Structure formats: structure tokens, C-alpha cells
Amino acid sequence: MTLDLFAAEPRPVPVAAPFVPTREEGLRRLRDFLPRAGSAYASTRNHDQGPGRRNVSVLSPHLRHRIVTEEEVVRAVLARHSLEGAEKFVQEVFWRTYWKGHLEMRPSLWTAARGRAARLHADLDAAATDRLAAAEEGRTGIACFDAWAAELVETGFLHNHTRMWFASIWIFTLRLPWELGADFFLRHLIDADPASNTLSWRWVAGLHTKGKHYVARADNIAKYTNGRFDPRGDLARDPEPLTEATDHPAGPLRRSEPPRPGLASVLLLTEDDLHPESLDPPWSDIRAVIAFAAPDARSARPVGEPARRFARDAVRLAAERVGAARGLPVECVEAAAAPSEIFVELCRRHGATQVVSAFLPVGWTGEALAPARSALVAAGFGFTEILRPWDARAWPHAKRGFFPFKEHIPALCAGLA
């Protein structure tokens, strides 16, 4: 018997969708990109060629949800290129790891941004509400920005360089709060990640590296969009970086205990990690797979359909893949429809005494699961998380900026080639 709370909406993944949330599609994108992961990527990566771009990997939706993992991507790249030859691409993969480790040591950065976004949305006056709507709907009169806002909402994706331009224009030209821009990205990006998104917006604003901000320049946009856009005269020229009174010192990383062997378990899959095969839980103890999706927990405001659909389908399809391979029943649960007691019921139904999950990083999924976790513990069930060795090795080096972290990349890559 399958408890399927996704059934109210269409289940098939459209074949024509620009981003298909399957492992097969992620591996296909990786194979297609591998020949270009070296000097070709390094020389063209900053160019935004528009939708259909092939100069970058466009792997981030699959990497963010760990449908394909960082380790296997770096391993595949280093099997074909030297670390020096593919340095720029490998660093991009490690930026994602760096951001996650940095936020794990400073979770208040996430809660502060979320809290301020909620307060701002509640307190905006009519004029500010109109300005925000114009930015989100692509009605600012800045042609490049408006086109990017439309592309984001329609496709759920933007090129990395374009995200930096967009954030800079949002903050320094439109003078809108960065937290509202980060919330806009969270609601629409298919690959939205609490760490990468929050900290990248802070970096552009000049808050991550104090006093060092990113200013979008018209000539830079014209050059790297191959002349598609030239916002000369539209952008703030020499804005000051943002400042903040609050400091967010690093704390210790949260420890995770491995699952107790020999205990009947259910395997919990969330959108944070969808390749349990490489996580290697105690398969002989697993009795069922629970697919948990919480895309609407990203924000108090409506989440874009491309992002919602990708997350929900990715979790369900990964659970069905694992269930079919292991002969396990699959239970699909969505946060909006599931009381916390449902996890207790599912454990009892399958005779399990513990829930086993990949490590739940700082973000909306862990927050959405907190009531269920409390209910499980109160009912006498265990809840254990498995931290990947990739994260365990890398995160402790994310105490400061990326450049000190970067010095550890060769050692972190040792043995992967």
C-alpha cells in the first residue's frame, strides 16, 4: 500500500521540460559536458548565451538535489582532465560545498535573512510594493533585468554570471532589500539552495566579505551577453557596499550519529540528497522508502511552478528508483498535507524503529521536518542522519572566505582522479 499525497497533481515528467529531474538526465548532461570541462569552460564560462546555453554544464539542478553528487562529478572530470586543466570548473563545484559548510557553522545567517524577508513583505507600503512587483514581473524598464526576471519565472533557471548581475542591479540600482531578492530567487530557481542563495546575495551586497561588493557594469554585461544587452546609462555607477550591525561568528559543526545497525528502519529521502545508493545506508535493515517533499516551505509567498514541480518529481522519482531496485515499498508525503504523526504511523506500518536520512543541512527542508522529528522521538523512534564523507572533509575548511578554502581543494581531490 502506498500513501501518495502527490496524486492530486499530474505525475508524469514532461519529456519536453528543460530540466528533467531524473538521474539518467543528470548523467547524460554530465557526459555531454565532460569534453568541455577544461579550457573550453574556463574561457567561455562567464558568457551568458541565453536559454539553450552549452558553454556551461547546466548541472546545478541535479547537483543541488544530489541526484548526481559533487564527488562523482569531480571524479568524472578528473578522469578526463588534470586538476590544473579543469581548475575553474572544479572550483565551481567546490563553491557549492564551501557555501554549505559556511552556513552550517553560521545558521543564523539563514534565519536572519528569512525573518527579515517575512517582516519586509508584511511592512511594505504601497509604493515599495509597486517597486517590488515591477522588479519581480520584469517591468523596471532595464531591458536586461526585465528579460532575466521573465526567464527566471518561466524556466526556473539563470546563468551564474547573470545571477550576479541581477542581484547587483536589484540591490544597488533598484535599491530593493537584498533579502527580498534572495526570497525571489528561492521561490523560482529550480536549483535554489539555502546556503548558495543566501550567501551569494550577501556576497554581492558586500556583507559576506565586508566592504567587497559586486557592481554590475554595462560594458561587462554587453561583453558577456555577446551584445544582446547593453544597459549603458541604466545602472548605478559607484554604489557603496551594504553594511550590517549584527555579526555572525562561526560555531561548531553539528555532529551526526550513524544509524544503529540491526534496527528495522525506513529510509527518508528529501530534496537535499537523492542518491542514497552512494550514501550506503544499512540496506539490510531498510523496510520502506519515504519520499518527503516540502517545496512550498521555501517561502511564505507562492513558489514558482517549475521549481515546485522539479523538487516534487525529483523526490518521488528517486524514491521509486530506489524502491524498484531494492524491492521496497514507497510512501510519498508532502509537507503541506502531512501532520507530523504520519511519520509515526509509517514507521509502525512497516515495523520500523528508526528513520534513516541523509544529513539535513540548514534550510527549509529540515525546518519542515522538525515537528515530525519531535513526534518520532516522543513516540520512541530513532532519527539518524548520515553525513557524507565529502562534506565531513570539506566543511571544516569553510570558516572564512573562499580563497582560504580553495587552498584545500587539491587535498580534497586527492584520490578522485
Per-residue pLDDT of 6-58, as tens digits, reads 333 333 333 334 799 999 999 999 999 999 999 999 999 999 988 878 899 99
* Higher pLDDT pick, 261 / 365: 365
- With H, G, I as helix, E, B as strand and everything else as coil, classify residue 20: coil
| Other beta carbons within 10 Å of 107 | 18
- Helices 87-105 and 194-205: crossing angle in degrees, nearest 10, is 100
Q: How far is CA 317 from CA 23, 68, 191, 324, in A?
A: 9, 13, 17, 10
Report the 3 state secondary structure along 274-341.
CCHHHHCCCHHHEEEEEEEECHHHHCCCCCCHHHHHHHHHHHHHHHHHHHHHHCCCEEEEEHHHCCCH
Q: Is the pLDDT of residue 4 over 70?
A: no
Torsion angle of C-alpha atoms 173, 175, 178, 184, degrees rounded to 10: -80
Q: Which residue has the cell 527566471?
A: 152
pLDDT score, position 416: 87
Across the range 152-178, mean pLDDT stands at: 97
23-104+394-413 belongs to which CATH class?
Answer: mainly alpha
Q: Is the pLDDT of residue 265 over 80?
A: yes
8 A C-beta contact, residue 194 and residue 103: yes
C-alpha cell at 364: 527549509
C-alpha cell at 71: 564527488
Q: Which residue has the cell 508584511?
A: 122
Q: Is the pLDDT of residue 140 over 90?
A: yes
pLDDT score, position 334: 87
Where are the chain's structural domains? 23-104+394-413, 108-224, 265-388
Q: What backbone torsions phi and psi does residue 351 show, to the nearest 5 degrees?
A: 65, 30
Q: Which of 95, 327, 54 is nearest to 197 (CA)?
A: 95
C-alpha cell at 349: 506500518
Q: What is the pLDDT of residues 376-391, one digit of tens each?
A: 999 999 999 999 999 9
* Higher pLDDT pick, 350 / 51: 350
pLDDT score, position 417: 74
pLDDT score, position 49: 85
Q: What is the pLDDT of residues 280-338, one digit of tens each?
A: 999 999 999 999 999 999 999 999 999 999 999 999 999 999 999 999 999 999 887 77
8 A C-beta contact, residue 67 and residue 275: yes
8 A C-beta contact, residue 311 and residue 186: no
- With H, G, I as helix, E, B as strand and everything else as coil, classify residue 277: helix
C-alpha cell at 102: 559556511
pLDDT score, position 174: 98
Say which CATH topology domain 265-388 has.
Answer: Rossmann fold (3.40.50)
pLDDT score, position 9: 37
pLDDT score, position 53: 83
Q: How far is CA 191 from CA 157, 214, 244, 307, in A?
A: 8, 22, 28, 8
pLDDT score, position 106: 98
Q: What is the pLDDT of residues 200-230, one digit of tens each?
A: 999 999 999 999 999 999 999 999 999 999 9
Q: Which residue has the cell 518561466?
A: 154
* Residue 256 pLDDT grade (very low, low, confident, very high; cuts 50, 70, 90): confident
pLDDT score, position 5: 31
Superfamily for the 108-224 domain: DNA Cyclobutane Dipyrimidine Photolyase, subunit A, domain 3 (1.10.579.10)
> Distance from CA of residue 313 to its chain's centroid?
15
- Residue 279's contacts (CB-CB under 8 Å, 6 or more residues apart) are 273, 358, 386, 388
pLDDT score, position 338: 77
Across the range 175-193, mean pLDDT stands at: 98
